[in-house]
Chains A and B, each alone.
Chain A
Amino acid sequence: MTAQAVISASDLSLTFTTADGPVFALQDINLTVKDGDFVSLIGPSGCGKTTLLRVIADLERASAGTVSVNGMAPEQARKARAYGYVFQAPALYPWRTVEQNVGLPLEIMGTADAAARVKRNLDLVNLGGFEKKFPWQLSGGMQQRVSIARALAVEPKLLLMDEPFGALDEIVRDKLNQQLLELWAATKKTVVFVTHSIPEAVFLSTRIVVMSPRPGRIIDVIETNLPRDRTLDIRETGAFLKIAQRVREGLKAGHSYED
């Protein structure tokens, strides 16, 4: 099957000018994400993985090179609401109930079948019955699931996730990883997922993009080829450990210990 490119970046660079001189956040990034892929961006802090995601989402502008999202420039893609974005924190609006938070993008877009969409997407993240709760009444993991439902409510083909489970404890994280994988299998979305956890990246992804800092660049791209209907037990298998080993090697090679 030749899937079309959902995201393609070529020779992408982004330089921030600061008082201490230029910071090369991204340099010569070339990346293609195909329809239905689950791509993880992994690397130490400062490697530009979040910046790359933000460039794709048109929350930052590249200084050089080109990116296209669904064949459009990122700005057009954003205006066409081509993607759903999940942030590091749930970023729920505390004065809105769960259903009002999930319905927020639909209010803004003026969607007609908002109520049905809210219900459908809350059910997808197993939060049926919590519609009338306010965010502070939910646990951190549940709040992040609300924010995933909110991103899904836009019903985009592309989901951009920026370390969505980074602030959660490992038990909750494992459970949400499993649920996310089921969600991905059920909805057939394309996902770009930023993480700094090697097991998370290997468990979730079809491809792992290993990045390195100063300047932020891609140093390895790994096809995982693990079966799609995997469970957490797969983390004990040899194939899994081999991929994790390669990611670790890549991170080690790219990291300079001078500083």
Chain B
Amino acid sequence: MPVTVVCLAILVAWYIAAVFMNTVVAEAKIEAAGGGLVNTLDISWSLERPVIPAPHQVVVEVWKTVFTVAPWKVKSLVFHVWVTLSSTLLGFALGTLLGIGLAVAIVHSKLLNKSLMPWIIASQTIPILAIAPMVIVVLGSVGLTGIFPKSIISMYLCFFPVTIGMVKGLTSPDPMQLDLMRTYNASGPQVLWKLRFPAAMPFLFTSLKIAIAIALTGAIVGELPTGAQAGIGSRMLAGSYYGQTIQIWAALVAASAVAASLVYGVGGIERVVNARMGVRA
């Protein structure tokens, strides 16, 4: 119920904004039609290249490009979503592995903690838009093209929250739980698998939810500076070249729908893991 109310409020605000933004460019057209409130609303909500398309225009565009075009055609939104999604998932997988690997190394070595941590933090202060073209060009020059360079950018963005969360999670067992392992003369890997990893699970899932959303952002950013032929990013770029605002918004809607379902998916896996680990519901 509260969700519905907020959605309705956003829709109303959107329609109102569309009127104000679009009457500026459509003034002549409205005059020609004879002016008046009805004409103003009608025209400002149905322009071919509006400043802000009305919600129903975006819905129609999404419908058209999802359901009326075969999914393997370039005109299909499904095709572009799939291109972006595949590099997002690859980048997310790589970033998660890198993030966990770094966290394990940092937790086990004071030296690595001191030497790696500043670099890991510095890596995130560099604007991704500045590195993305370099990554794509450098990897392209050694023959790596397609989804791989884009997933490297996703990986670059999403390893960070995983590392930070996992360092915290792997060090979360209390001294007594660690002493217990010592009394059993447990080996390092045993302490890692039987104590540190299970204790880190809640931290891992919090990090993964952030990581998967920014992995998608990374993939889209990776498509922008290279004039990629396919993907949500290229769809936005093409839309902006040709003033196809409706197409840009449709791509935006698709991107946020994908992001929401990815985060929701991670949440679902978390619930399954929690149930198996006896977390109090």
Contact = CB atoms under 8 A, between A and B. Distances in A.
A81 B185 contact: yes
Contact of B183 (A59, A89, A93): A59
Nearest to A59: B179
Contacts of A87: 176, 179-180
Contacts of B186: 108
Interface string A93-137: 111110000001101110000000000000000000000001010
A52 interface: no
B151 to A, nearest CB: 32
A165 interface: no
A105 B176 contact: no
Contacts, number: 57
B176 A93 contact: no
B198 A95 contact: yes
A183 interface: no
Interface string A71-98: 0000000110101110111010111110
B281 to A, nearest CB: 11
A203 B184 CA distance: 30
Contacts of A25: none
Contacts of A94: 277-279
A79 B185 contact: yes
A59 B184 contact: no
A97 B184 contact: no
B183 A83 contact: yes
Contacts of A9: none
A108 B182 CA distance: 11
Interface string B190-212: 10001100110100000000000
Contacts of B201: 95
Nearest to B191: A108
A109 B184 contact: yes
B280 interface: yes
Nearest 7 CB-CB pairings of A with B: A134-B278, A95-B277, A91-B176, A85-B183, A95-B198, A108-B184, A105-B184
Given A93-B194, A95-B199, A105-B184, 11 more contacts: A58-B182, A59-B182, A59-B183, A78-B182, A85-B179, A91-B174, A91-B180, A93-B195, A94-B279, A108-B181, A136-B280
Interface of A: 57-59, 78-79, 81, 83-85, 87-89, 91, 93-97, 104-105, 107-109, 134, 136, 154
Interface of B: 174, 176-177, 179-186, 190, 194-195, 198-199, 201, 277-280
